[in-house]
Amino acid sequence: MTSNIANFDAVSLPVMKVYDFPTGPYPTRVRIALAEKGLQSRVEFVIVDLYKGEHKRPEFIAGKNYSGTLPVLELDDGTCIAECTAITEYLDALDGVPTLTGSTPREKGIVHMMSKRAELELLDAISVYFHHGTPGLGPTVETYQNPEWGFRQRDKALRGMRYFDAVLQGQPYVAGETFSMADITVIGGLIFAMLVELPVPEEYEALHAWYGRMLQRESVRNQPVFANP
């Protein structure tokens, strides 16, 4: 996955805003993408307190993200882009250095398939477990909880870990031979697993080894969630 755009100058980019909760697994995905691409200095981070329910306030829903979730990228013209995948695509399209979402049609297809799979089978499942099977963000925010659904999703996430272990037995990165958005999504899943104290079973050695390598990347190891989970 090499870029064909070599003369990108990040300093010439207008400053963007990211509505953020620094230790949140999903915002961390965007923080990692920004770090990989060397774009952190072009972003003003605006903290939205999830535990106070600031992401559910009418002005945030109406003005920033209808879904009431973080992160949200706001461009200098006021356009708001939510959803980690969409934000990563936007950042990648600015320059393509390094490419996180694939260069060729085949690479793009595989990166998106594996990233979506990481959401469905791991990250989103753990998120449901967090919101339904644990106290989640607390009683002010969690106005409806269905523990049975939460525990089913926890078990789904464990099956997801087994799947990604099998994938990583055969290739160095989640989408193949190169680090990509799909790796970042699985990293988000394992961060969420850490936060909800759902350990990766020891026998998933390939997943453990891959995660060890991911934690050595500067873009990953410097994330606030590891300093202050």
Ligand X SMILES: N[C@@H](CCC(=O)N[C@@H](CS)C(=O)NCC(=O)O)C(=O)O
- Between residue 130 and residue 169, which ones bind ligand X under the rule CB under 6 A? 137, 141
- Judge whether 96 and 105 are in contact, CB under 8 Å: no
- Judge whether 21 and 224 are in contact, CB under 8 Å: no
Burial-class residue 223 by CB neighbours within 10 Å (0-12, 13-18, 19+): buried
Q: What is the 3-state secondary structure (H, E, C) of 157-208?
A: HHHHHHHHHHHHHHCCECCECCCCHHHHHHHHHHHHHHHCCCCCCCCCHHHH
User: Shortest Cβ distance from residue 227 to ligand X (Å)?
Assistant: 17
Asked if 54 touches ligand X (CB under 6 A), the answer is: no
Asked if 84 touches ligand X (CB under 6 A), the answer is: yes
User: Which one of residues 69, 88, 101, 178 is an interface residue with ligand X (CB under 6 A)?
Assistant: 69
| Region from 7-15, 24-32, 104-112, 194-202 binding ligand X, contact rule CB under 6 A | 24-32
User: Which one of residues 1, 34, 43, 50 is an interface residue with ligand X (CB under 6 A)?
Assistant: 50
User: Which one of residues 8, 83, 103, 172 is an interface residue with ligand X (CB under 6 A)?
Assistant: 83
CB closer to ligand X out of 50 and 220? 50
Asked if 70 touches ligand X (CB under 6 A), the answer is: yes
Residue 24: strand, helix, or coil: coil
| Distance from C-alpha of 207 to C-alpha of 209, rounded to nearest angstrom | 5
Binding region for ligand X (CB under 6 A): 21, 24-27, 50, 55, 69-70, 83-84, 127, 137, 141
